[in-house]
């Protein structure tokens, strides 16, 4: 007899940061479609509450909490809120992130600190708070959102601070995975390439920019909601129980060139 893999998240509780739009919203909806109840975390109430409404339309429970993930105390409160309001925490998706598109010589200390605080400090202390909740339960799934910029440089696109933070997430994922494996907490990352999110909509409308992107994407297209939904559900489910410390490049093949 085989114990066939299950992708069902029925009864699970997930926190998804930065879930008001784009990748975070799609991930939250994908997890909800698979059965999970979702704490939607964002700093913009209107868009996050819309995500909650769409999750509820799928028949799942969803609540919203405004959190700046760079605030470690607020992050601890976030996990406590999930415990009290939704009954626990099984899955954390560290999606919240910021970027500054400036050349390295023009980056200010304030801009540097903001990107590092959200993209690295935020992931670190969200994971720490989640692990404190998961360790007594002896199980958990943490999914970090890295980026293809952790592995490659795109000519003409200044991205030094963002790329640095996302490369750090790849190694942080490995470090957490090793440390928390004894508690059956799986820690993995997804490194997206170009997706049709609101943040890159203007760039994709430019035909020359789109042509360049397609030229360096072997599969010849940008990512769609279903692409990141499928990978996220897989890493959140029991089907991925033997995977930890890994980063899946979800980029249409950009990082193989």
Active site residues: 162
Element (H, E) at 192: strand 185-192
Tokens of 251: 């980029």
Q: Which of 196, 231, 233 is nearest to 217 (CA)?
A: 196
Tokens of 169: 């997430």
Q: Give the DSSP H/E element, type plus range, for residue 131.
A: helix 122-134
240 strand-pairing partners: none
Question: Please, what is the Cα angle at 75 between 58 and 59, to 5 degrees?
Answer: 10
Q: How many CB atoms lie within 10 A of CB 240?
A: 20
Q: Which two tokens mark 200?
A: 């890159």
Instruction: Indicate the angle between helix axes 122-134 and 160-180, nearest 10 degrees.
Output: 20
CA distance 109 to 18: 24
How far CA 138 is from CA of 85, 184, 234, in Å, comes to 21, 6, 20
Give 28's Cβ-side CA count (13 Å radius). Answer: 36
């Amino acid at each position: 007899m085989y114990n066939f893999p299950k992708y069902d998240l029925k009864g699970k509780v997930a926190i998804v940061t930065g879930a008001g739009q784009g990748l975070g919203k799609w991930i939250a909806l994908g997890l909800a479609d698979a059965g999970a109840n979702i704490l939607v975390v964002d700093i913009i109430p209107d868009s996050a509450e819309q995500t909650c409404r769409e999750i509820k339309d799928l028949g799942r429970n969803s609540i919203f909490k405004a959190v700046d993930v760079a605030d470690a105390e607020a992050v601890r409160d976030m996990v406590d809120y999930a415990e009290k309001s939704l009954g626990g925490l099984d899955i954390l998706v560290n999606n919240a992130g910021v970027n500054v598109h400036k050349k390295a010589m023009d980056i200010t200390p304030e801009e540097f600190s903001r990107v590092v605080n959200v993209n690295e400090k935020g992931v670190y202390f969200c994971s720490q708070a989640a692990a404190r909740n998961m360790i007594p339960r002896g199980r958990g799934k943490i999914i970090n959102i890295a980026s293809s910029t952790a592995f490659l440089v795109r000519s003409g696109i200044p991205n030094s601070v963002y790329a640095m933070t996302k490369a750090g997430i790849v190694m942080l994922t490995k470090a957490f995975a090793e440390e928390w494996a004894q508690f059956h907490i799986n820690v993995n990352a997804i490194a997206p390439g170009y997706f049709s999110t609101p943040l890159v909509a203007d760039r994709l409308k430019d035909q020359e920019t789109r042509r360049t992107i397609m030229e360096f994407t072997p599969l010849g297209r940008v990512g769609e909601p279903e692409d990141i939904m499928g990978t996220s559900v897989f890493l959140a489910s029991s089907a991925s129980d033997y995977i930890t410390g890994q980063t899946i490049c979800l980029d249409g093949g950009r990082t193989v060139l």
